[in-house]
Amino acid sequence: LVASMEQVDQTYIMIKPDGVQRGLVGEIISRFEKKGFLLKGLKLFECTKELAEEHYKDLREKPFFPKLIDYITSGPVVCMAWEGVGVVASARKLIGATNPLQAEPGTIRGDLAIQTGSFSEVVFAFGLLKPCKESHSHGKLSCRNVVHGSDSPENGLREIELWFKEGELCQWTQVQAPWLKE
């Protein structure tokens, strides 16, 4: 019964434009669903530059920021709110490391992505450049890693509020076998 006494959190998960373009929407939703988290909100959405900039405001000073904004606004994204005990950290584990080439097999990025920018991935493969977080991206777009997940419960709430309007989230509970919560 330990889990039921812990705090229930919410996290904002977003399938990025490359995930939508590559037809990975079902696969990615399925991983969170099968894990057992509760889906509270879901929509396909084309975001504005302003919204993308607000979402990533902590990265404003990063050299890859303009490319990151171009990437996130390059096509529709799938916005999701997921709820559960420990959902923020658990979702980050399911997603895997930021750089898909470094993400462990079994994670979403480890299983489904390699792309780190059109030019850079070739250079990385030969060890001539450090990928992603550790250096500037030389590709046309910032690190394409199919999915986003909030990095703290506070950011989970902030991001859900940012991406969803009132009335877009459903307050429902799942009828579960009692042993799932033991």
Stretch that binds ligand RTP, among 25-33, 44-52, 121-129, 146-154 (CB under 6 A): 146-154
142 sits near ligand RTP (criterion: CB under 6 A): yes
Q: Identify residue 89 by its one-letter amino acid code.
A: A
Listed ranges 43-51, 73-81, 136-144, 171-179: which one lies at the site for ligand RTP (CB under 6 A): 136-144
- For residue 155, say whether it is annotated as part of any ligand binding site: no
Cα distances (Å, whole numbers) of residue 58 to 55, 80, 174: 8, 21, 35
| Of 118 and 174, CB closest to ligand RTP | 118
Query: Is residue 132 near ligand RTP by the rule CB under 6 A?
Result: yes
Q: Checking DSSP bridges between strand 77-85 and strand 147-149, what pairing results, if any?
A: unpaired
Describe the strand order of the beta sheet including 38-45 as a list of residue ranges: 38-45, 77-85, 8-15, 147-149
* Contact between residue 18 and residue 69 where contact means Cβ atoms under 8 Å apart: no
Write each residue from 35 to 74 as x if it is in contact with ligand RTP (CB under 6 A), else as -, in one continuous string: ------------------------x----x---x------
Q: Taking CB under 6 A as the criterion, which residues in 78-107 touch ligand RTP?
A: 98
- End-to-end Cα, the chain, rounded Å: 4
β-strand pairing of 8-15 with 147-149: antiparallel
138 is catalytic: no
Question: Which residues bind to ligand RTP, rule: CB under 6 A?
Answer: 59, 64, 68, 98, 132-133, 137, 142-143, 145, 148-149, 151
What are the residue numbers of the active site? 148
